[in-house]
Amino acid sequence: MSIHYYLGWFNNFFPETLSRLLQEDITDRMSLVMISSNPSIYEDDGATERSWLDQAGIMFDEYHLINYRVQKEEAQSKIQNASVIFLLGGDTLKQNGFLREYELSNLIKESSAVVIGASAGAINMSAKWLCSKNLGNKVEMSSVYEGIGLNNFSVLSHFDLENNIAMVQSELSPLSEEINIYASNKDCAVRVKGDSLDVFGTVFLISHSKIRKLDETLQMY
């Protein structure tokens, strides 16, 4: 059964409920493979995300970080042998380009590993996503990018929704006509396990240009 976690950002650590679910879902703890969102930068990359798992008591026999220091073939092999694949937060565009360059997307889709993405990583797990300067991307023109496509929806993760709901709704309205969009701020998560979807924290659904706040299926605390 496929298990995917689309996370915002956690300034401290995972709440107890989320930690418990991850502990239950991650039964194979041989290898954690983290995919950089800024693959040219090597210092401390992934340290924050790894600390979340450490704090939750989820440890692995092996830890691997995929960036430009790792050869393409080796990176692909590590993905194929991963217990958990974690797409790190940071630069969404650089990570998207890296996934394409290293041809990792299909391998991630075919993997039986639990797949987790934080912020930029969660966005790149989407089927497609809108790249726009109004949504925090350093671009002049808006465009839609293909993501990994683990589930047939789009994600806007780790964005200040409460103060920008009208703008977000307007910006994402065209894309929402063809695909559902789950938008969340930090300290939030969307979990897809098989055919079920769980919501933690403040998450909005934008569909056919309409936006509504979703009820939490499980309380974070």
- Asked if 49 contacts 22 with a C-beta cutoff of 8 angstroms, the reply is no
Average pLDDT of the chain is: 94
Domains defined along the chain, listed by start:
3-213 (3.40.50.880)
- Tell the burial category of 75 from Cβ atoms under 10 Å away from its Cβ (0-12, 13-18, 19+): buried
Determine the pLDDT at residue 219: 62
* Interval 183-207 mean pLDDT: 94
The DSSP call for residue 220 is: -
- For residue 52, give both structure tokens: 């979340």
- Asked if 214 and 204 count as a contact pair (C-beta separation under 8 A), the reply is yes
Judged against a pLDDT cut of 70, whether residue 221 lies above it is answered with: no
Q: What does DSSP assign to residue 137?
A: -
Residues 29-69: tens digit of each pLDDT: 999 999 999 999 876 789 999 999 999 999 999 999 999 99
pLDDT for the residue numbered 185:
87
- Terminal-to-terminal C-alpha distance of the chain: 26
Overall average pLDDT of the 164-185 stretch: 94
**Mean pLDDT on 169-174:** 94
Pairing mode, strands 31-35 and 62-66: parallel
- Report the percent of the chain where pLDDT is more than 70: 98
Question: Of 78, 117, 94, whose CA–CA distance to 37 is shortest?
Answer: 94
| Burial 192-206, CB ≥16 within 10 A → b, else e | bbeeebbbbbbbbbb
Task: Compute the Cα dihedral for 18, 19, 23, 28 and give only its sign.
Answer: positive
Asked if the model's pLDDT at residue 220 lies above 60, the reply is no
Residue 215, strand partner residues: none
- For residue 158, the model assigns a pLDDT of 86
Contact 153, 180 (CB under 8 A): yes
CB-CB contact of 180 with 142 (8 Å): no
Please name the amino acid found at residue 9: W
What is the pTM (predicted TM-score) of this model? 0.95
Over the stretch 125-157, which tens digit does the pLDDT of each residue have? Answer: 999 999 999 898 889 999 999 999 999 999 999
Cβ pair 88, 34 in contact under 8 A: yes
Lowest mean pLDDT of 4-8, 19-23, 97-101, 159-163, name the range: 159-163
Q: Which residues, at least 6 apart from 208, have a Cβ–Cβ distance to it below 8 Å?
A: 176, 177
